[in-house]
Structure 1
Amino acid sequence: MGKYRLDYFSKYYFYEEDKFLQEVEDGEYILNQIKKSNRFDYKGYSYKYTKFGNISKGDTQKDVEVEIKEDDIDVIINGENAHLDLIYKFEIKNLEDHIRITTRISEKSDDISCLLYIDYNQGNDFIKELENVKKAQQENMNKI
């Protein structure tokens, strides 16, 4: 069991234009802005077009606490239970001053892409514990 502090935790929501206009507050205004400049920061979120022509809404938090419990398929992010879908996606990249982990997080109505940035001092231990979470998730899937 370990507690870690992420430097950054980013969640990305993806929309087709029609869905974006229906579901996002001020969607038409935001859409007009990203058509002008391809990226627009608004009310704490970052919006832009993706390479596939969809719209992404980015939500980035700094200094996020993650707690990992032994033999658990979930983690605790800022005091709330969260399910990282490590079976589906678990990519690790070493950057200049951080380790970046790409995965998905399940929320009530959707699976959201997310990036976790952690410093090298705690990064290797964090990855080992995430690998244990992934193993627990795999074992849970195999239970019949």
Structure 2
Amino acid sequence: MSKYKLDYLAKYYFYEEDEFVNSVEDGEYILKQIKESNRFDYKGHSFKYTKFKNISMSDTQKDVDIEIKENSIDVVINGEKKHLDLIYKFETKQLEDHVRIATRISEEIDDISCLLYIDHNQADDFIKELKFVKKLQQDNMNK
């Protein structure tokens, strides 16, 4: 098992306007605010319009523990088993302070876009292990 510390884990939930108002607490109030400024931070979330004219709600956590267990198609994030859908999306980008990994995380009722930010000192090993997890996921699909 390997353990890493992510600098940030950002999850993104996407909504159409009608769905947003009915699904999110204080949705009408938030919608009014983002119509005025295109971005609004509220109760620990950031809300904004996307380039596709829907609404994104982001949830960002700092200093996130992630474990990759041997021969597992899942990972453990802050003590909870999670499935990163690395087959669907697995894109890396070198940034000044971090390496950003774009993927999707499967949760109880939805698949959520997410970004993992890890410092350069851990990035190579972490990405190598995620590539192995992706291979295990592909092998699992082909069974």
Deviations 1:38-79 (A, max 9, x none): 000000000000000000000000000000011100000000
Q: What CA distance in whole angstroms lies between the structure 2 residues aligned with 1:94 and 1:121?
A: 12
Q: What CA distance in whole angstroms lies between the structure 1 residues aligned with 2:51 and 2:14?
A: 12
1:101 pairs with 2:137 = no
Deviations 1:9-52 (A, max 9, x none): 00000000011011000000000000000000000000000000
When normalised by structure 2's length, the TM-score is 0.99
Deviations 1:97-124 (A, max 9, x none): 1000000000111110000000001010
2:130 aligned partner: 130
Q: CA deviation at 1:137?
A: 0.3
The amino acid that maps onto 1:28 is: E
Q: Which runs of 5+ in 1 are unaligned?
A: none
Moved over 3 A (4+): none
Q: What CA distance in whole angstroms lies between the structure 1 residues aligned with 2:18 and 2:68?
A: 38
Q: What CA distance in whole angstroms lies between the structure 1 residues aligned with 2:57 and 2:4?
A: 26
2:74 aligned partner: 74
User: What is the percent sequence identity of the aligned residues?
Assistant: 76
Q: Which runs of 5+ in 2 are unaligned?
A: none
SS at match of 2:51: coil
1:120 aligned partner: 120
The amino acid that maps onto 1:42 is: Y
The amino acid that maps onto 2:120 is: Y
Please report the RMSD computed on the Cα atoms of aligned residues, expressed in angstroms. Answer: 0.4
1:5-20 → structure 2 map (5 Å cutoff): 5-20=5-20
When normalised by structure 1's length, the TM-score is 0.98
